[in-house]
């Protein structure tokens, strides 16, 4: 069938943002604020992106609750949490700019919980030295997305809801547009633009137990890969330690770290507070050694150290997995998270209203009276598309990435609360980066009709073929593969098996069939998303195979320790000239001396402001 590209609907923007979560909205606001004609496409309705699920808060060293806090300590915490594999400059930019980005949300109507003095309140979270998370109860993500949305709709941005991107279009090396389709009608639409900002999130839907929604299929990661961009650090997939484990239908849904930040403790089926047995050497000096000390910390004793339940997520998730494996788990295969015995019921309902509601309605558990059952759930991709720290540009000119789909800030493990601040800091920088790129662009790039035609053909074949694989069942097979082979602990053999299974799934995916027409057809949408999921899953698996050490969220049973060599490289994934997926160990540049000094400093020196004063202020 001949396809006339000129008959397709074509929409022009200076910049198109793909994804309308926190990062995408913040990027779009930055673009429109600089007089760029800005469009946003999102797979869901506006305001439904996964950002709404973020609960605990956004980390910013404002020092409202503990004045000892400052950007250097936030930076140090982020580097230590990321096992020093973070991109130094990104961790620096993030720690320095997060406070301004949070305060700016107040200009746009956000209403955070307040301190007694009327300032933005901040709560404790894992890996953060001080109470640092600006929050609204346990629905901070909703507050973030609604504030950006309500501000954004008055900024002249064009929102195209329920539109899914299929492929990035290029003119030579440069980005020239995006081919997408409208979910409602199934019609294709060509966006012609000078720059594209990806803010598409991670790919958690490749796993069966995940806190992620259906949207998390790695679209941005896969499209960028196909367009020739480099991916980085994908072996680091964060398993959040506390997801719901029962009933089965809600397995994986997030239980905020705020429960532990506000005093919740983890127990095994012997009633033992087991986290005291899992304090690693790195964190021992800053972690309570006894139940008594942890209790004093909760009471507000500033000399007491933090309870081990607030160790970084990788440490807590591994500890829970070990307890369950040792037969000390809860009836449904998790452990117990108890806040009922720690805090009065009205405190719990006020600070953790969504958790109270969620357990009451979905699991018939009253968390003010009983402990919750929790276990690890695939939550977040530290890795993603490789970007320049200051501009967020990928290795493809005109293509930018921010938020979860970009790599670098979090290194080998992300601290809770650093994601929401990541979105607003790097969303803005991506918008600024796109503006600078467009200003310097000599000519408007052109879209390639042949590229559009072949992409449309690939998409419509799924509807047109007489019979083939059921995309839902194929997706279920992919989840099994990833759960078995690329879980919280990994081995060479299992990863190699997963690679082989993925090769098989890729072949089967070529013959997927979605019955019905193209109008709002979830079977077809599922089949199209499978392509992104498979690229993303393969990249994660191959990167995990290449990194032969355990670091942060990447745990190899056959290489159980951190290897000093592991700090000298990042695993880069890209598409080779022959179309194969290529992995390489890319040497990391050394950290700038002033940042290395801060990361390795004693906490007391940073509190006193003794270090890093020579560092540039922005």
Partner 1 sequence: MAIRRFKVWRGDAGGGELTDFQIPVDPGMVVLDVLHRIQATQANDLALRWNCKAGKCGSCSMEINGQPKLACMTRMNSFSETETITCQPLKTFPVIKDLVTDVSFNYEQNKRIAPFKPRPRDADGQYRMYQEDVDRVQEFRKCIECFLCQDVCHVLRDREGRETQSFIGPRFMIRVASLEMHPLDTEDRIPELKKELGAGLCNITRCCTEVCPEHIQITDNGIIPLKERIVDRFYDPVAIIGRKLLGIRKRTKTRSEEAAQGAGSEDRDG
The residues annotated with a catalytic role in the active site are 240, 260
DSSP string covering 327-361, please?
Answer: T---TTSSEEEE-TTTS-HHHHHHH-HHHHHHHHH
User: 293 in the Ramachandran plot: left (φ > 0), alpha (ψ -120 to 50) or beta?
Assistant: alpha
- Identify the three-state secondary structure at position 122: strand
Binding residue for partner 1, selected from 247, 285, 331, 333, defined by CB under 8 A = 247
If one asks whether residue 48 binds partner 1 (CB under 8 A), the answer comes out as: yes
Instruction: State the minimum distance, in angstroms, from the CB of residue 357 to partner 1.
Output: 7
Strand pairing class (188-192; 174-182): antiparallel
CB atoms within 10 A of CB 109: 12
User: What's the distance, Cα to Cα, between the start and end of the chain in Å?
Assistant: 56
81 vs 313: CA distance, rounded Å: 9
Q: Name the residue nearer to partner 1 (CB basis): 213 or 491.
A: 213
Contacts of 493 (CB under 8 A, 6+ apart): none
Count the residues in the chain. Answer: 618
Q: Does 347 bind partner 1 (CB under 8 A)?
A: no
Q: Which stretch binds partner 1 (CB under 8 A): 79-87, 337-345, 406-414, 464-472?
A: 464-472
Q: Is 60 left (phi over 0), alpha (psi -120 to 50) or beta?
A: beta
611 binds partner 1 (CB under 8 A): no
Residue number with CB closer to partner 1 (326 or 476): 476
- Kindly state whether residue 246 participates in binding partner 1, applying the rule CB under 8 A: yes
Which of 444, 460, 470, 491 touches partner 1 (CB under 8 A)?
Answer: 470
Distance CA 275, CA 265 (A): 9
Examine residue 346 and tell whether it contacts partner 1 (CB under 8 A): no
If the CB atoms of residues 48 and 594 are measured against partner 1, the closer one turns out to be 48
Binding segment toward partner 1, per CB under 8 A, in 28-36, 113-121, 341-349, 501-509: 113-121
260 touches 367 (CB < 8 A): no
The region that residue 70 occupies, defined by phi over 0 for left and psi between -120 and 50 for alpha, beta otherwise, is: beta
Whose Cβ is closer to partner 1: residue 383's or residue 471's? 471
Q: Which residue, 449 or 523, is less far from partner 1 as judged by CB?
A: 523
| Phi, psi (rounded to 5 degrees) for 106 | -65, -35
Q: Which of residues 3, 119, 304, 441 is near partner 1 by CB under 8 A?
A: 119
Using the rule CB under 8 A, which residue among 5, 8, 250, 597 binds partner 1?
A: 250
- Minimal distance, residue 153 CB to partner 1, in Å: 6
Provide, rounded to whole angstroms, the least separation between the CB of residue 459 and partner 1.
Answer: 15
* Minimum distance from residue 512 beta carbon to partner 1 (Å): 10
Shortest distance in whole angstroms from residue 185 CB to partner 1: 9
Q: What backbone torsions phi and psi does residue 179 show, to the nearest 5 degrees?
A: -95, 130
x/- contact string, 538-577, with partner 1 (CB under 8 A)? ----------------------------------------
| Shortest CB 288 distance to partner 1, Å | 29
The smaller minimum CB distance to partner 1, of residues 106 and 272, is found at: 106
**Judged by CB under 8 A, which stretch of 48-56, 167-175, 276-284, 303-311 contacts partner 1?**
48-56
Does position 503 interact with partner 1 (CB under 8 A)? The reply is no
The per-residue DSSP string of 521-555 comes to -HHHHHHHHHHHHHHHHHHHHHHHHH--S-BTTB-
Mark 56-95 with x for binding to partner 1 (rule: CB under 8 A) and - for no binding: ----------------------------------------
DSSP single-letter state for residue 201: -
Helix/strand/coil percentages in the chain, nearest 5 = 40, 20, 40
Least Å distance between CB 248 and partner 1? Answer: 6
Q: How far apart are CA 180 and CA 165, in angstroms?
A: 4
- Binding to partner 1, residues 92-111 (CB under 8 A): 103, 106-109, 111
Q: Does 358 bind partner 1 (CB under 8 A)?
A: yes
Instruction: Check if the beta carbon of residue 497 is closer than 8 Å to that of residue 514.
Output: no
Other C-beta atoms lying within 10 Å of the C-beta of residue 269: 14
CB of 544 to partner 1, least distance (A): 27
- The binding track of 510-539 with respect to partner 1, each residue x by CB under 8 A or -, is ----xxxx-xxxxxx-x-------------
Give the separation between CA 146 and CA 551, rounded to whole angstroms. Answer: 36
What does the per-residue mask of binding to partner 1 show for 150-189, with x meaning CB under 8 A?
xx-xx----x-x----------------------x-----
With CB under 8 A as the contact rule, which of the stretches 83-91, 131-139, 190-198, 228-236 interacts with partner 1? Answer: 131-139
User: In this chain, which stretch among 141-149, 221-229, 499-507, 544-552 interacts with partner 1, using CB under 8 A?
Assistant: 141-149
Contact residue for partner 1 among 214, 276, 278, 347 (CB under 8 A): 214
DSSP annotation string for 240-291? EEEEE-SSGGGTT-B--THHHHTT-EEE-TTS--GGGGG--TTTGGGB-SSH
Alpha helices in 309-448 (DSSP H): 313-325, 345-351, 353-363, 418-440
Q: How far is CA 131 from CA 280, 356, 375, in A?
A: 22, 22, 25
- What residue ranges bind partner 1 (CB under 8 A)? 44-50, 52-53, 103, 106-109, 111, 113-114, 117-119, 136-137, 139, 142-143, 146, 150-151, 153-154, 159, 161, 184, 213-215, 246-250, 253-254, 354, 357-358, 361-363, 470-473, 476, 514-517, 519-524, 526
């Amino acid at each position: 069938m001949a396809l006339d590209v000129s008959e397709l609907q074509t929409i022009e923007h200076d910049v198109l943002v793909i994804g309308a979560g926190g990062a995408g909205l913040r990027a779009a606001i930055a673009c429109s604020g600089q007089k760029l004609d800005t469009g946003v496409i999102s797979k869901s309705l506006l305001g439904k992106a996964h950002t709404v699920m973020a609960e605990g808060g956004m980390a910013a060293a404002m020092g409202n609750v503990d004045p000892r806090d400052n950007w250097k300590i936030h930076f140090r915490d982020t580097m230590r949490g990321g096992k020093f594999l973070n991109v130094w400059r990104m961790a620096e930019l993030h720690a320095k700019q997060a406070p301004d980005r949070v305060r700016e949300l107040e200009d746009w109507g956000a209403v955070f919980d307040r301190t007694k003095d009327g300032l933005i309140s901040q709560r404790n979270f894992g890996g953060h030295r001080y109470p640092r998370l600006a929050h609204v109860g346990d629905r901070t993500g909703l507050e973030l997305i609604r504030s950006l949305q309500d501000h954004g709709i008055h900024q002249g941005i064009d929102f195209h809801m329920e539109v899914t991107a299929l492929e990035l279009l290029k003119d030579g090396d440069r980005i020239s547009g995006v081919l997408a389709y409208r979910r409602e009608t199934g019609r294709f639409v060509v966006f012609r633009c000078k720059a594209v900002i990806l803010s598409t999130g991670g790919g958690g839907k490749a796993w069966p137990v995940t806190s992620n929604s259906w949207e998390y299929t790695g679209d941005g990661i896969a499209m960028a890969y196909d367009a020739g961009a480099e991916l980085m650090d994908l072996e680091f997939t964060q398993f959040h330690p506390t997801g719901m484990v029962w009933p089965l239908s809600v397995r994986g849904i997030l239980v905020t770290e705020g429960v532990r930040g506000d005093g919740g403790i983890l127990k095994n089926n012997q009633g033992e507070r087991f986290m005291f047995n899992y304090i690693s050497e790195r964190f021992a000096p800053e972690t309570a050694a006894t139940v008594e000390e942890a209790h004093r910390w909760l009471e507000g004793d500033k000399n007491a150290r933090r309870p081990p339940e607030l160790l970084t997520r990788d440490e807590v998730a591994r500890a829970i997995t070990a307890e369950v494996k040792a037969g000390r788990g809860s009836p449904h295969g998790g452990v117990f998270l108890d806040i009922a015995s720690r805090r009065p019921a009205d405190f719990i309902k006020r600070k953790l209203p969504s958790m109270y509601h969620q357990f009451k309605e979905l699991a018939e558990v009253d968390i003010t009276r009983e402990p919750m059952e929790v276990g690890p759930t695939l939550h977040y991709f530290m890795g993603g598309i490789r970007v320049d720290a200051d501009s967020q540009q990928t290795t493809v000119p005109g293509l930018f990435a921010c938020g979860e789909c970009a790599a670098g800030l979090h290194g080998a493990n992300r601290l809770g609360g650093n994601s929401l601040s990541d979105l607003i800091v790097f969303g803005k920088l991506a918008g600024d980066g796109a503006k600078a790129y467009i200003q310097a662009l000599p000519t408007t790039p052109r879209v390639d009709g042949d590229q559009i035609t072949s992409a449309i053909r690939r998409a419509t074949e799924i509807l047109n073929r007489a019979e083939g694989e059921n995309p839902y069942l194929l997706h279920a097979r992919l989840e099994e593969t990833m759960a078995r082979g690329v879980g919280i602990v990994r081995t060479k053999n299992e990863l190699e098996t997963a690679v082989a299974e993925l090769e098989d799934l890729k072949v089967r995916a070529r013959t997927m069939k979605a019955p019905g027409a193209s109008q709002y057809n979830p079977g077809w949408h599922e089949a199209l998303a499978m392509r992104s999921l498979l690229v993303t899953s393969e990249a994660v698996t191959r990167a995990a195979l290449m990194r032969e050490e355990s670091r942060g969220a990447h745990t190899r049973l056959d290489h159980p320790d951190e290897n000093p060599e592991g700090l000298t490289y990042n695993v880069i994934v890209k598409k080779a000239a022959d179309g194969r997926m290529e992995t390489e160990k890319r040497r990391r540049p050394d950290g700038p001396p002033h940042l290395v000094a801060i990361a390795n400093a004693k906490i007391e020196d940073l509190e006193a402001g003794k270090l890093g004063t020579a560092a540039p202020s922005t």
